[in-house]
Structures are given as C-alpha cells and as structure tokens.
Amino acid sequence: MEQLLRAQLHTKTLRAFGSSGGGCISEGYAYYTDTGPVFVKVNRRAQARQMFEGEMASLEALRNTGLVRVPKPMKVIDLPGGGAVFVMEHLKMKSLGSQASKLGEQMADLHLYNQKLREKSKAQQNTVGCGAEDAEPRGVTKFGFHTVTCCGFIPQVNEWQDDWPTFFTRHRLQAQLDLIEKDYADRETQELWSRLQVKIPELFSGIEIVPALLHGDLWSGNVAEDEQGPIIYDPASFYGHSEFELAIASMFGGFPRSFFTAYHQKIPKAPGFDKRLLLYQLFNYLNHWNHFGREYRSPSLGMMRKLLR
C-alpha cells in the first residue's frame, strides 16, 4: 500500500507516525509526506470506493460552507486487491471538551446556512437591477444529496424529494427495515412498523422544514477539538431536517449539556420536538442493529412502541 500511496500522492517522503488505529468500519494510518501529514483510511470491502466517495463529497460540502472545521479531503484510491483508501488532511485531535458550546453554535449555523442562502437569493431576485448573473448560489429546495453516502458501511439512497417525511420514511427507515427483514425476517418488527408508518405524518403536522445540510452521523466518536476549536469528521451528509442531527448526538453520551444549550439558543425546539427525536433515534437503533446485530433489536422495538403510544 505504501508504494501505491507514494505514486498517487507524488511524494518521496512517506513515513508512518503515531499508532495505527481502527474504527468500527475502517482502519486508519498517519503518514508524513512531502506536503505535510496525512491521515489514510483503509477499507477492503467491495463497496469501499462508494463509501469513501460519499464521505469525500460530504467533507467538501461541509467545508465549503466555511462554518465548521473538517479535515480537508484529498483523494480516494483503489487498492489492487480490492477495496479503497481515502487520504485526507491529518489533524491532531483530542476529545471534545471545552469547545462543546462553540460546536453547538457552529452546528446551528450550519443548519441555518441553506435557509439563509435561500432568503438571500429571494431578496436578490426582488431587487431591481439585480441580474441572474449576479446571483449567488440559491440554496437547496429539496431533501437529499447529489450522491450516495454511507452511514457506517450501509449505502444511503439520497434521491431528491420535495417532502421530508416521505424522504425520511422511504430512504432512511424503510431502507433499514428492508435489511432487517432480509437478514432476520423479524415478524414483530414488521407488525409494529405497519402500525407506525401511517402515524409518521402526524409528527410533522404544523411545522415548516427547510432542508439543512447535515453531518449525518454526529455521534461523539465523530467530533473532536484542537487548539483552534471544534472539528467534525466521518460525515454521511445530506440535506434533511435539522432535528435529525441531534438524535444520535443525544443517544450515546459524549456531548456536554453546553452543546445542546448553545445549539437551541440559535434554533429553538419546535412543537413536537421530543417525539420526533424518538423517531430519529429509531433510525439510529435500526442502523446499529444492521451493523452490530440483535443486541439492538430490543431498543429498536422499544422505540417503536413508544412512538405508537
């Protein structure tokens, strides 16, 4: 692999440093190169290129807002024996702590970014003498993303939809439940889902949802900080409901209260927030069931029963 990296990165220097590590999905290595330190993710699955290309597109989208700090993506490279590697900027990170409040503010700003783009575009269109050639990006009006992204190793369909409940039900919940049906044929899950899916539109009654650019997998293992401030990484981005982002952030610990306080000072909770949060947490439990096995069956079914009350 190191010979391949030297050739693809056009570097004579390729010296490993630190200790290699692995997350739940990929292995990670750090190298010094002629142009600076890089971090290399390695995955030997057949769909690794698709997974890494989705991550690269996500990092680019987040980085282009100028509102959150992410590692600069560099290159996806196929491995000769199968799989791929993803090369990005190496950042020396530590666990999120003192920067949690700042990250909460930044995530709220990120979630408001597309809405502000749309408002600015509308104002420009209503300004006399402002030609189309002068207009800045107009913002996104639908829910989805321009490419497939993976939450863990599961590809997510991001086909554009006008309606958020339709997008979320079809491309997130139903997609996860289809995998569970294929692997487990769990009758109780299907019975609960048949009752729950007809109730989902009620949870969104009376609220307006503007597409927001999301990190898409904002758990504590995908956030950090350094001396310059907070950092987010390993995204699975798409344009969706901003509340979706907070579900996994509130599930497994690691986010201090100050993160949520700072976030909600900029984006207050809308009516029905708490029950919708359960719906979004259901997606994460189902995704964990598909990744890690039946230990997540019980919390998945428990969440479905809560939503049916």
- Length of the chain in terms of residues written: 309
What residues pair up with 85 in beta bridges, in sequence order? 42, 77
User: Is-contact 153 169, C-beta < 8 A?
Assistant: no
Where b means 16+ CB within 10 Å and e means fewer, 169-198 reads bebbbebbbebbeeeeebeebeebbeebee
The crossing angle, in degrees rounded to 10, of helices 257-266 and 242-249 is 170
Strands 84-89 and 154-156: unpaired
Which residue bears the tokens 């030997």? 44
Where b means 16+ CB within 10 Å and e means fewer, 261-297 reads ebbeeebeeeebeeebbebbbbbbbbbbbbeeeeebb
User: Is-contact 271 207, C-beta < 8 A?
Assistant: yes
User: Is-contact 161 144, C-beta < 8 A?
Assistant: yes
Burial class (CB in 10 A: 0-12, 13-18, 19+), 47: middle
In the residue annotation, 162 being an active-site residue is answered as no
Q: How many CB atoms lie under 10 A from the CB of residue 117?
A: 17
- Select which of 34, 163, 186, 217 is catalytic: 217
User: Is-contact 69 34, C-beta < 8 A?
Assistant: no
Q: Which residues are part of the catalytic machinery?
A: 217
